[in-house]
Amino acid sequence: MRVMAVTFCVTLAASMAARQGSTTMATFQVCLQVWLATSLLADGLAVAGQAILASAFANTDYEKVTATASRVLQLGLVLGVMLAVFLGVGLHFGARLFTKDVGVLHLISIGIPVLQLMCRGIIL
């Protein structure tokens, strides 16, 4: 269900961006690629945590469950803050690697706070 919901939302957003014109669509694509890269990094931590938790539950090692959940939450918070800071600074200056179009750069600068919130887990 999660994959279907994300695919639907991304497809809908792409459709809406395409209707706004090429500048908006280009901005959407840059932000989408950055979001995908950061979310895949976070998914790696989530998958590892789920595997360890499943093993601990299967062995009824509830102490390990508690320790793993606590550690994954700590690492998730650190990763989210690091990615948000990286996006805030890195994308502000690194957006020129994607394009030189002034309109796209302006819209990317508007989208950076949204991407930062998504990295912190506040949105989606």
pLDDT in tens, the chain (124 residues): 878 988 898 899 899 999 999 999 999 998 888 888 888 888 888 899 999 999 999 999 999 999 999 999 999 888 888 888 887 788 778 888 888 899 999 988 888 887 777 766 555 4
Residue 113: what pLDDT?
Answer: 80
Residue 54: what pLDDT?
Answer: 94
Q: Angle at which helices 2-20 and 22-58 pack, to 10 degrees? A: 170
Report how far residue 81's alpha carbon sits from residue 83's, in angstroms, rounded to the nearest whole number: 6
Report how far residue 43's alpha carbon sits from residue 49's, in angstroms, rounded to the nearest whole number: 10
